[in-house]
């Protein structure tokens, strides 16, 4: 019987030998698949690494792999020229190599994909790889037979392919004969009749005697049954991904290649604006790569003809040079702006030279606009200069304005620290009016607004009042869209504008009601960052699509769906999910909700193949409905059926109180410290304790959304944290005040009564910590608090000495609770929260980082643990009161 160590090693070897990605497997994945304790798997992996049997990666999560496998296949081949060879086409390349290098003879290959996806070009690359690998002679015959040319001449197709009789010298050589010693590529197999296709499938089983490499292709549209039938005779099937499902970076690579080729052809440098690049990246190419290439050719040819007489060395392309549907790509910008940011840079022009160079140029002709009106004027002028018509200019501005306004509103209030500073920049009366406006919005719309949004709104209105003679900039459709999308908010803002006009005896343009509505609905939010995406997977025709549409509508975020027809083959489901996951991933993984069946195994396989983190949860609505329908057929007692369903399917989940009082506790990273404060309050307040909700404070935007949702159903009494999150209308209480407050005074403090008195801010002595350590002792039986206490106090004191600005009482208590939670997690083998800013934090704070490391050494030795640099960075973040250190 295998030992656990052998089992783990063999599983890693099988995973990397089976054609899956070479990056490796994680501890969590191994524990789940082998049904072992995570801590045991981790120990075995560390032993295997020390022995050199496996190696581990440096990133997060840490992955483990066989060293020899990770180094394999790194030699250069013709496939390295293929855009996407390490991305969406990685699996296709591996299959092609496996088919050609198969021992004895190369396996027949079936290439499938939508029209224009590059099936013919991929077949040519397979031929080149066969030469590079010495499977064929150099420059072997590559015979292409396009079946679509014989759709009405089926008999002639058979003669051309197979000939009449190979013994008659007068007969012209057939394609099969001419391909001897090389490649026979039969393109668009779906156009042949059944008899000819059967002969081809027979040929695929007897290619050895003909000395050929057989490659066939089938278009995917409406040919699924034919593909399944032909797959029986072709051991290797390669599916090419549609262009719309390939990452934007790969599409950008294709565009650059095509523009470089056109620059070489016309002998001039091509100048491509950001707007043109955006449209080419986002417009719908129904015929995939071939359409993209042809549309770009047409644009270049139109520009060349327009500029032919000038003979300039540089040729500037305009949006009007391209077909109208290419320009519609800008309409897709709203949901793909973050992907676009990672691919091209806003405001840059791309230059493609005849000598295959690609350059970028940024021209800042005018200073950055100081307000939203200046931006509209500047943008309109730029687009006019690029040859766009008024209708197109209005469309582009209406798409861009929401994003530009978010940037504008964030920038306004970001440098204001407090109301005193704000008072120096605007009038007290305006501040008073805006305060009433924001407080009214909080009550009316059940939302929360950050302090920076309040500052930004004051500064914007101050500018608007000083320049009230501005003319209207927004067109009617933009105003109408805002009024329709946010009816209540728009009406509220219109009334406020009327009050301002009356108060200051002036008239404001109608645009201001739109801008104020944007402030309330969109302003002040943090810029979008890559996040995990939600995917709903259900069996049936439209269940997942309908549910995702409802969730998207209610949440305002993109939710993806994949419906699995009941008769659909498992391999088709796998390929469909694979293409979708590659398309929707933003770099942070995919969270999948699925109803039943083998979806769990498919997601595990896809995680390994694509390298994209996939987390799945089964929500068994289909299975539940199926079981209840059967129960009701056998038993008409609904109460009994309901009890059975609850007992078998109901998740053990604590429901939050509706309409009650809540207290929120916050923690800098993860929820560990927040949970400890929650436990302390529940024990101290006992029966009078309201519901306490611990939250993580790692990202401000998510925190605001969570609190916003809570305010809809509950009354938030206060927020308890180690520092003030600055949320308008909610009281903040430092952790130190809560822990130092007596049991008799604590209820009054949490109910915000003014009678409570608290000790002044000052340094803490060892005795001041007693109440905290007493509470920690009750929370953990694994950690010796008496040993920890002096070492932890010494560590915090050492960190305080190294801190430039010292530490407040709140920071010290926050550190104490946080480090205790870390020790508890490490001793129990749990994962610690990730801080994506760790490298930057350590680089910016080298002295403090060294002090934190030294401070932790005694604790590490005592408890047999190691604090990673990630955790040291978290400690620095707490000391400096900033997530980014």
Among 161, 157, 208, 163, which residue's Cα sits nearest to residue 181? 208
* Structure confidence at residue 526 (pLDDT): 42
For the chain, what is the mean pLDDT? Answer: 79
How is domain 533-619 classified at the architecture level of CATH? 3-Layer(aba) Sandwich (3.40)
pLDDT mean over 490-507: 90
Q: Residue 744's CB: how many other CB atoms inside 10 A?
A: 7
* Structure confidence at residue 167 (pLDDT): 45
Torsion angle, alpha carbons of 713, 714, 719, 725, to 10: 30
pLDDT mean over 386-393: 62
Check whether 424 has a pLDDT greater than 50: yes
Q: pLDDT of 746-785, one tens digit each? A: 887 776 443 333 333 444 444 556 777 777 777 666 788 8
Biggest alpha carbon distance in the chain?
112
63-65 and 25-26 beta bridge pairing: antiparallel
Length of the chain: 885
Q: Which residues contact 559 (CB under 8 A, 6 or more apart)?
A: 534, 535, 536, 548, 551, 552
Comparing 127-131, 159-163, 451-455, 521-525, which segment has the lowest mean pLDDT? 521-525
Q: pLDDT of 850-873, one tens digit each? A: 889 989 998 988 888 888 888 888
Q: pLDDT of 701-755, one tens digit each? A: 667 767 776 776 677 888 898 777 778 778 888 888 888 788 777 887 776 443 3
* Structure confidence at residue 814 (pLDDT): 80
pLDDT mean over 208-226: 88
Encoded tokens for 420:
């005193």
Among 483, 47, 242, 617, which residue's Cα sits nearest to residue 12? 47
Contact yes or no for 867/858 (Cβ under 8 A): no
Binning pLDDT at 50, 70 and 90, where does residue 834 land? low
What does the alpha-carbon distance between residue 34 and residue 37 come to, in Å, rounded to a whole number? 9
* Structure confidence at residue 390 (pLDDT): 64
| Separation of CA 150 from chain center | 46
CATH top-level class for 390-521?
A: mainly alpha
* Structure confidence at residue 579 (pLDDT): 85
214 forms beta bridges with 184
Among 180, 194, 243, 191, which residue's Cα sits nearest to residue 217? 191
What does the alpha-carbon distance between residue 719 and residue 694 come to, in Å, rounded to a whole number? 10
Check whether 394 has a pLDDT greater than 70: no
What order do you get walking across the sheet with 559-564 strand by strand?
Answer: 559-564, 533-539, 590-594, 614-618
What does the alpha-carbon distance between residue 744 and residue 795 come to, in Å, rounded to a whole number? 33
Contact yes or no for 129/146 (Cβ under 8 A): no
Check whether 61 has a pLDDT greater than 70: no
Q: Where are the domains of the chain?
A: 4-70, 78-241, 245-363, 390-521, 533-619, 661-750, 767-879
Which sign, positive or negative, has the C-alpha torsion 406, 556, 703, 339? negative
Check whether 654 has a pLDDT greater than 50: no
What does the alpha-carbon distance between residue 72 and residue 21 come to, in Å, rounded to a whole number? 12
What does the alpha-carbon distance between residue 722 and residue 786 come to, in Å, rounded to a whole number? 24
Residue that wins the pLDDT comparison between 189 and 784: 189
CATH number of 4-70: 1.10.10.10
Q: Which residues contact 169 (CB under 8 A, 6 or more apart)?
A: none
Contact yes or no for 719/458 (Cβ under 8 A): no
Q: Which residues contact 425 (CB under 8 A, 6 or more apart)?
A: 416, 459, 462
- CA distances, 467 to each of 375, 413, 474, 507, 591 (Å): 15, 19, 16, 10, 49
* Structure confidence at residue 71 (pLDDT): 38
Among 728, 692, 697, which residue's Cα sits nearest to residue 710? 692
Q: Looking at residue 727, what DSSP letter applies?
A: B
Q: For 26, phi and psi rounded to 5 degrees?
A: -90, 165
- Of 215-229, 751-765, 769-783, 835-849, give the range with the top mean pLDDT: 215-229
Q: What is the CA radius of gyration of the chain?
A: 33
Q: Which residues contact 646 (CB under 8 A, 6 or more apart)?
A: none
Binning pLDDT at 50, 70 and 90, where does residue 147 land? very high
Encoded tokens for 197:
């296709």
What does the alpha-carbon distance between residue 93 and residue 89 come to, in Å, rounded to a whole number? 6
* Structure confidence at residue 537 (pLDDT): 93
What does the alpha-carbon distance between residue 372 and residue 384 come to, in Å, rounded to a whole number? 18
* Structure confidence at residue 164 (pLDDT): 63
The beta-carbon contacts of 860-867 under 8 Å, at least 24 apart in sequence, are: 862/787, 862/788, 862/791, 863/783, 863/788, 863/823, 863/826, 863/827, 865/823, 865/826, 865/827, 866/826, 867/822, 867/826
Asked whether this chain's domains 78-241 and 533-619 adopt the same fold, the reply is: yes
* Structure confidence at residue 655 (pLDDT): 41
Q: pLDDT of 540-555, one tens digit each? A: 888 898 898 888 767 6
Helix (H) or strand (E) holding 484: helix 476-485
Residue that wins the pLDDT comparison between 527 and 175: 175
Which sign, positive or negative, has the C-alpha torsion 232, 236, 242, 246? positive
* Structure confidence at residue 338 (pLDDT): 75
* Structure confidence at residue 392 (pLDDT): 63
281 forms beta bridges with none
pLDDT mean over 128-149: 91
Check whether 187 has a pLDDT greater than 90: yes
Binning pLDDT at 50, 70 and 90, where does residue 76 land? low
* Structure confidence at residue 601 (pLDDT): 78
* Structure confidence at residue 883 (pLDDT): 54
What does the alpha-carbon distance between residue 384 and residue 396 come to, in Å, rounded to a whole number? 12
Check whether 638 has a pLDDT greater than 90: no
**E strands along 551-657, which residues?**
559-564, 590-594, 614-618
What order do you get walking across the sheet with 25-26 strand by strand?
Answer: 25-26, 63-65, 55-56
* Structure confidence at residue 760 (pLDDT): 38
Q: For 495, phi and psi rounded to 5 degrees?
A: -65, -40
Residue that wins the pLDDT comparison between 700 and 28: 28
Check whether 488 has a pLDDT greater than 70: yes
Comparing 66-75, 443-452, 577-586, 733-742, which segment has the lowest mean pLDDT? 66-75
Q: pLDDT of 642-651, one tens digit each? A: 776 765 654 4
- CA distances, 104 to each of 2, 99, 132, 135, 379 (Å): 35, 11, 17, 10, 64
Q: For 754, phi and psi rounded to 5 degrees?
A: -75, -10
Check whether 623 has a pLDDT greater than 60: yes
pLDDT mean over 34-54: 82
Q: Is 78-241 assigned to CATH 3.40.50.1110?
A: no
Binning pLDDT at 50, 70 and 90, where does residue 298 land? very high
236-239 and 213-219 beta bridge pairing: unpaired
Please state whether 49 falls in left (phi above 0), alpha (psi between -120 and 50) or beta: alpha
* Whether residue 564 has a cis bond before it, omega within 30° of 0: no
- CA distances, 191 to each of 201, 223, 291, 791 (Å): 15, 11, 21, 79
């Amino acid at each position: 019987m295998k030992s656990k160590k052998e089992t783990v090693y063999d599983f890693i070897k099988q995973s990397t030998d089976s054609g899956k990605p070479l990056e490796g497997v994680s501890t969590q994945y191994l524990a789940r698949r082998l049904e072992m304790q995570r801590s045991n798997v981790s120990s075995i992996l560390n032993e295997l690494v020390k022995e050199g049997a496996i190696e581990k990666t440096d990133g997060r999560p840490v992955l483990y792999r066989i060293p020899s496998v990770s180094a394999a296949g790194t030699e250069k081949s013709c496939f390295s020229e293929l855009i996407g060879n390490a991305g969406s086409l990685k699996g296709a390349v591996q299959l092609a190599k496996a088919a050609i290098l198969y021992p004895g003879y190369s396996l027949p290959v079936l290439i499938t994909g939508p029209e224009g996806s590059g099936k013919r070009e991929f077949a040519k690359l397979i031929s080149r790889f066969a030469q590079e690998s010495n499977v064929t002679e150099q420059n072997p015959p590559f015979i292409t037979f396009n079946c679509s040319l014989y759709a009405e001449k089926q008999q002639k197709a058979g003669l051309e392919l197979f000939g009449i009789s190979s013994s008659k010298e007068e007969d012209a050589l057939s394609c099969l004969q001419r391909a001897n010693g090389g490649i026979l590529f039969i393109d668009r197999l779906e156009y042949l009749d059944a008899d000819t296709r059967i002969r081809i499938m027979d040929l695929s089983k007897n290619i050895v005697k003909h000395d050929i490499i057989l490659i066939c292709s089938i278009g995917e549209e409406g040919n699924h049954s034919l593909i399944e039938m032909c797959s029986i005779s072709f051991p290797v099937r390669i599916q090419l991904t549609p262009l719309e499902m390939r990452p934007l970076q790969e599409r950008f690579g294709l565009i650059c290649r095509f523009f470089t080729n056109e620059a070489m052809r016309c002998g001039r440098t091509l100048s491509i604006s950001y707007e043109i690049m955006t449209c080419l990246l986002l417009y719908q190419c129904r015929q995939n790569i071939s359409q993209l290439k042809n549309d770009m050719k047409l644009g270049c040819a139109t520009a060349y003809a327009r500029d032919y007489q000038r003979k300039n060395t540089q040729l500037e392309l305009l949006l009007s040079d391209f077909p109208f549907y290419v320009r519609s790509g800008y309409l897709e910008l709203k949901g793909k702006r973050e992907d676009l940011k990672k691919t091209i840079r806003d405001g840059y022009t791309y230059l493609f030279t005849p000598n295959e160079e690609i350059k970028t140029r940024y021209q800042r002709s005018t200073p950055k606009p100081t307000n939203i009106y200046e931006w509209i004027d500047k943008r309109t002028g730029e687009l006019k200069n690029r040859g766009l018509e008024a209708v197109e200019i209005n469309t582009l501005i209406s798409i861009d304005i929401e994003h530009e306004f978010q940037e504008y509103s964030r920038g306004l209030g970001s440098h204001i620290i407090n109301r005193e500073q704000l008072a120096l920049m605007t009038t007290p009366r305006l501040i008073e009016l805006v305060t009433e406006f924001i407080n009214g919005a909080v009550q009316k719309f059940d939302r929360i607004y950050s302090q920076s949004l309040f500052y930004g709104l004051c500064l914007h209105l101050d500018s608007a009042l000083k320049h009230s003679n501005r003319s209207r900039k927004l067109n009617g459709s933009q105003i109408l869209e805002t009024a329709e999308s946010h009816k209540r908010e728009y009406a509220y803002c219109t009334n406020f504008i009327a009050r301002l006009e009356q108060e200051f005896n002036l008239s404001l343009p109608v645009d201001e009601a739109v801008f104020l509505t944007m402030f309330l609905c969109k302003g002040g939010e943090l810029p979008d960052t890559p996040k995990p995406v939600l995917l709903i997977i259900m069996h049936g025709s439209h269940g997942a699509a309908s549910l995702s549409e409802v969730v998207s509508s209610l949440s305002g975020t993109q939710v993806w769906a994949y419906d699995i027809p009941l008769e659909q083959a498992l391999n088709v489901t796998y390929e469909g999910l694979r293409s979708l996951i590659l398309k929707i991933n933003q770099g942070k993984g995919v969270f999948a909700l699925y109803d039943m069946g083998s979806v769990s195994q498919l997601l595990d396989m896809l995680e390994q193949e694509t390298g994209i983190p996939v987390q799945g949860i089964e929500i068994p609505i289909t299975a539940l409905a199926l079981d209840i329908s059967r129960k009701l057929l056998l038993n008409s007692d609904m109460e009994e059926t309901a009890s059975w369903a609850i007992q078998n399917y109901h998740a053990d989940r604590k429901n939050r109180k509706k309409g009650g009082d809540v207290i929120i506790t916050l923690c800098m990273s993860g929820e560990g410290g927040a949970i400890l404060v929650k436990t302390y309050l529940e024990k101290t307040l006992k029966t009078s304790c309201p519901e306490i909700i611990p939250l993580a404070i790692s990202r401000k935007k998510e925190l605001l959304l969570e609190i916003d949702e809570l305010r809809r159903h509950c009354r938030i009494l206060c927020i308890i944290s180690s520092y003030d999150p600055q949320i308008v209308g909610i009281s903040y209480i430092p952790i130190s005040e809560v822990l130092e407050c007596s049991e008799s005074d604590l209820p009054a403090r949490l109910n915000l009564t003014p009678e409570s008195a608290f000790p002044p801010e000052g340094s803490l002595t060892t005795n001041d910590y007693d109440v905290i350590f007493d509470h920690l002792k009750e929370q953990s039986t694994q950690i010796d608090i008496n040993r920890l206490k002096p070492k932890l106090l010494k560590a915090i004191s050492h960190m305080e000495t190294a801190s430039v600005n010292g530490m407040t009482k709140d920071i010290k208590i926050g550190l104490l609770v946080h480090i205790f939670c870390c020790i508890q997690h490490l001793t129990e083998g749990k994962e610690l929260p990730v801080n994506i800013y760790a490298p930057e934090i350590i680089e910016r704070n080298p002295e403090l980082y060294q002090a934190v490391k030294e401070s932790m050494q005694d604790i590490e030795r005592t408890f047999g643990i190691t604090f990673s640099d990630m955790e040291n960075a978290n400690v620095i973040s707490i000391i400096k009161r900033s997530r980014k250190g």
